[in-house]
């Protein structure tokens, strides 16, 4: 690939799309070519994302049909998709067909759930509706960059934010043979994980100073975690997951518990996980207690902490749901697909007090 690559963002008005735009503005090799939103076509990007006005003072949203002309003049493009689950599959299929017709070489990373499963039946079982473009599934691979070597496909379906935090904890325990393949997970997520449109459970008066579980043992990320963990570690786990809504905007704190196969101490397990992630620049295994959300919020970094007694291990993982769990992890994948270091444009530390 050349030193610079034009970027198209699809589904451009949500929180994840805003993070894509912010990361692209600071990336040394990516140049924004278009932000697609049929509902906001013609409107300034700064109207949807006022904080991005300094980066995009003149940029306007465009319609999908207007992208055809752009594809005719672009020999290659990086594409990030942030459309809603259930909408993304057909949208991306249509877009990729347009790119193929125009002869544009495309690498695409989808932040929705629509290309995380290799099998249309598995997608149907998890989401309760048929996949919108099952013939496209073979063009995509899914998994975390830390757990998948090389470039397994031209396009990537990035794992979900809850799934990212669980996979970072579960996969090394499985692959290293440290724990029995049955896990209990409890995670708390910020309100941005619910998207831009408020609902009864995400509206600020309901969420402020509040904490509650939802979809206990029935969250849609559970089968995704099991599939991706089995692919990465070669062992199929059983998962019991209870998600919670937290009274903060961004971030996830995930606590994973399992039975150890053999007695161990926290220091030994910490060193085993630290060695496992030695080549992962965004994953840090701490030895001084459990990590805190503000250690990572606003960054693409993840922090893990370990505790154990004679037969039980606890791994706590904190990530930013919009970054490591969505836009940041997707840019990490795109860097690899385009042949750049994975840290390119992503190595800023967490702000610390957001």
pLDDT reported for residue 2: 52
Residue-averaged pLDDT of the chain: 96
Tell me, yes or no, if the pTM score tops 0.85.
yes
Among 161, 226, 308, 317, the one annotated catalytic: 161
DSSP letter for each residue of 71-108: HHH-SEEEEEE-PPTTTHHHHHHHHHHHHHHHT-EEEE
53 and 26 in one domain?
A: yes
348 located within any domain: no
The answer to whether 156 and 111 are in contact (CB under 8 A) is no
229 located within any domain: yes
- We report the CATH number of the domain holding residue 298 as 3.30.360.10
Of 146, 162, 62, nearest in space to 113 by CA: 162
Token pair 């465009």 is at which residue?
Answer: 62
291 and 177 in one domain?
A: yes
84 and 55 in one domain?
A: yes
Q: Say yes or no to pLDDT of 105 above 90.
A: yes
77 located within any domain: yes
- We report the CATH number of the domain holding residue 10 as 3.40.50.720
Please report, to the nearest 10 degrees, the dihedral formed by the alpha carbons of residues 315, 23, 87, 185 taken in order.
10
Other beta carbons within 10 angstroms of residue 223's beta carbon come to 18
185 and 84 in one domain?
A: no
148 located within any domain: no
What are the residues whose beta carbons fall under 8 Å from the beta carbon of 197, sequence distance 6 or more?
none
- Provide the domain limits for residue 22: 5-142
Cα-atom radius of gyration of the chain, to the nearest Å? 20
The answer to whether 308 and 287 are in contact (CB under 8 A) is no
pLDDT reported for residue 199: 82
249 and 125 in one domain?
A: no
Q: Is 161 a catalytic residue?
A: yes
Q: Give me the count of residues in the chain.
A: 354
CA 86-88-93 angle, to 5 degrees, is: 120
pLDDT reported for residue 252: 98
Antiparallel, parallel or unpaired: β 302-308 and 312-319:
antiparallel
Tokens for 276? 């496992």
235 located within any domain: yes
171 and 90 in one domain?
A: no
The answer to whether 220 and 113 are in contact (CB under 8 A) is yes
What is the distance between the alpha carbons of residues 94 and 147, in angstroms, rounded to a whole number?
A: 30
Q: Say yes or no to pLDDT of 117 above 60.
A: yes
Of 352, 351, 345, nearest in space to 327 by CA: 345
Identify the band that residue 12 occupies on the pLDDT scale cut at 50, 70 and 90. confident
297 and 249 in one domain?
A: yes
331 located within any domain: no
Identify the band that residue 349 occupies on the pLDDT scale cut at 50, 70 and 90. very high
Q: Say yes or no to pLDDT of 158 above 80.
A: yes
* Numbers of helices and strands, H then E, in the chain: 10, 14
265 and 175 in one domain?
A: yes
Q: Say yes or no to pLDDT of 22 above 90.
A: yes
What is the distance between the alpha carbons of residues 103 and 24, in angstroms, rounded to a whole number?
A: 24
Q: How many domains would you assign to the chain?
A: 2
328 located within any domain: no
17 located within any domain: yes
CA 177-181-182 angle, to 5 degrees, is: 145
206 and 99 in one domain?
A: no
Q: Say yes or no to pLDDT of 200 above 90.
A: no
Please report, to the nearest 10 degrees, the dihedral formed by the alpha carbons of residues 168, 255, 194, 296 taken in order.
-60
Domain boundary among the residues 85, 112, 142 is at: 142
168 and 114 in one domain?
A: no
pLDDT reported for residue 288: 86
212 and 182 in one domain?
A: yes
Other beta carbons within 10 angstroms of residue 129's beta carbon come to 11
Q: Is 138 exposed, middle or buried (0-12, 13-18, 19+ CB in 10 A)?
A: exposed
Domain boundary among the residues 110, 142, 174 is at: 142
137 and 213 in one domain?
A: no
φ, ψ dihedrals at 192, nearest 5°: -65, -20
Identify the band that residue 269 occupies on the pLDDT scale cut at 50, 70 and 90. very high
């Amino acid at each position: 690939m050349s030193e610079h690559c034009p970027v198209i963002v699809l589904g451009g008005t949500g929180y994840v799309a805003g993070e894509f735009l912010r990361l692209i503005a600071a990336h040394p090799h990516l140049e924004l070519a278009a932000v697609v939103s049929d509902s906001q076509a013609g409107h300034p990007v700064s109207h949807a994302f006022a904080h991005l006005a300094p980066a995009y003072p003149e940029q306007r949203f465009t319609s999908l049909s207007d992208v055809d002309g752009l594809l005719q003049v672009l020999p290659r493009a990086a594409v990030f998709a942030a459309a809603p689950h259930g909408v993304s599959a057909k949208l991306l299929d249509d877009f990729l067909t347009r790119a193929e017709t125009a002869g544009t070489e495309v690498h695409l990373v989808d932040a929705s759930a629509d290309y995380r499963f290799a099998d249309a039946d598995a997608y149907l079982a998890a989401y309760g509706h048929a996949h919108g473009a099952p013939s496209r599934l073979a063009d995509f691979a899914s998994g975390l960059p830390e757990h998948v070597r090389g470039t397994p496909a031209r396009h990537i379906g990035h794992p979900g934010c809850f799934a990212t935090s669980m996979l970072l904890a579960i996969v090394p325990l499985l692959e290293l043979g440290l724990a029995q393949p049955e896990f209990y997970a409890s995670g708390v997520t910020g309100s941005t994980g619910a998207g831009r449109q408020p609902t009864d459970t995400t509206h600020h008066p309901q969420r402020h100073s509040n904490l509650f579980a939802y979809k206990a043992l029935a969250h849609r990320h559970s089968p995704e975690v099991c599939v991706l963990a089995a692919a990465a570690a070669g062992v199929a786990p059983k998962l019991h997951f209870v998600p919670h809504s937290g009274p903060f905007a961004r971030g996830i704190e995930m606590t994973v518990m399992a039975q150890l196969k053999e007695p161990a101490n926290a220091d030994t397990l910490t060193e085993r996980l630290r060695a496992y992630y030695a080549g992962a620049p965004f994953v840090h295994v701490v030895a001084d207690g459990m990590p805190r959300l503000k250690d990572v919020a606003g960054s693409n970094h993840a922090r893990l902490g370990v505790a154990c007694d004679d037969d039980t291990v606890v791994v706590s993982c904190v990530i930013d749901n919009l970054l490591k769990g969505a836009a940041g992890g997707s840019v990490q994948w795109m860097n690899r697909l385009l042949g750049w270091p994975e840290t390119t444009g992503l190595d800023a530390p967490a702000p610390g007090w957001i």
